[in-house]
Amino acid sequence: MCVFCEIIKGNIPSTKVYEDDLMVAFKDLNPVAPVHILCVPKVHIASANDINAENSGAVAHIFEKLSEIAASQGITSYRIINNCGADAGQTVMHLHFHLIGGTEMGEKLI
Ligand code: 5GP
Ligand code: ZN
């Protein structure tokens, strides 16, 4: 089972900041900013390439909750990042969105 499925099941410990039926949000093990939260659907979707009409509700739900999760961490300005596939540096093959903030962030790619 993948590492994020293990975290969702509680078999691997994590610092959860939000959880409901469809998603969990927990602190990244190696934060790159004062706020670095991983927002993860409970359903195992390997990557953004695997989002489809059947599972996109869980993805939409994550985006509905972003502002609430950010606010719970004391921020209203943040960056959302998804790495899809090897060239983009995806290391955990369970779809996740990095919510990063709490500092003035550096160079933008876009
Ligand atoms: P990716 O590189 O796939 O976009 O992001 C994977 C992220 O998961 C990395 O930022 C990494 O620090 C984080 N990560 C990997 N394993 C664990 C873990 O067991 N617990 C937590 N909290 N974060 C993890
Ligand atoms: Zn998984």
Report CA(90)–ligand 2 centroid distance (Å): 13
Under a CB-based contact definition with an 8 Å cutoff, are residues 101 and 31 in contact? no
Q: What is the reported pLDDT for 12?
A: 98
pLDDT tens for 29-83 read: 999 999 999 999 999 999 999 999 999 999 999 999 999 999 999 999 999 999 9
Alpha carbon of residue 61 to chain centroid = 12
* Whole-angstrom distance, CA of residue 46 vs CA of residue 59: 12
Pocket perturbation via mutation, ligand 1, pick of 12, 29, 40 by most ligand atoms within 8 A of CB:
29
pTM above 0.95, yes or no: yes
**Strand duo 35-41 + 97-101: pairing:** antiparallel
